[in-house]
Amino acid sequence: MSAQTKIKKGTFQHVESELYAYHETRKEIVRLKNEILYSNSSADENVGGGKGNIPGDPTGRTAILLTSHKKLEQLQMIVDAIESVVERLTDDRKKLLRLRYWDKPQILTWDGIAAELHVSRRTAVNWRDEIVRAIAEKLGWR
Distance, CA of 135 to CA of 122 (rounded, Å)? 20
How many CA atoms are closer than 13 Å to the CA of 98, on its beta-carbon side?
A: 9
Q: Which of 68-72, 91-95, 115-119 has the lowest mean pLDDT?
A: 68-72
Examine the pLDDT at 30 and tell me if it is beyond 80.
yes
46-82 burial by CB neighbour count: b if 16+ within 10 A, else e? eeeeeeeeeeeeeeeebeebeeebeebeebbebbebb
Cβ-based burial of 83 (10 A; exposed 0-12, middle 13-18, buried ≥19):
middle
Q: How high is the pLDDT of residue 1?
A: 46
Q: Does the pLDDT of residue 121 top 80, yes or no? A: yes
* Span 82-95, pLDDT tens digits: 999 999 999 999 99
Share of the chain above pLDDT 90, in %: 63
**pLDDT tens, position by position, 31-48:** 988 887 887 655 555 555
CA–CA separation, 142 and 140 (whole Å): 7
The answer to whether the pTM exceeds 0.85 is no
75 pLDDT tier (thresholds 50, 70, 90):
very high
Return the pLDDT at 48: 59
End-to-end CA distance of the chain: 14
54 or 22, greater pLDDT: 22
3-state helix, strand, coil in the chain (%, to 5): 70, 0, 30
Residue 2 is predicted with a pLDDT of 47
Q: What is the mean pLDDT of the segment spanning 112-127?
A: 97
Domain locations in the chain?
9-44+54-139
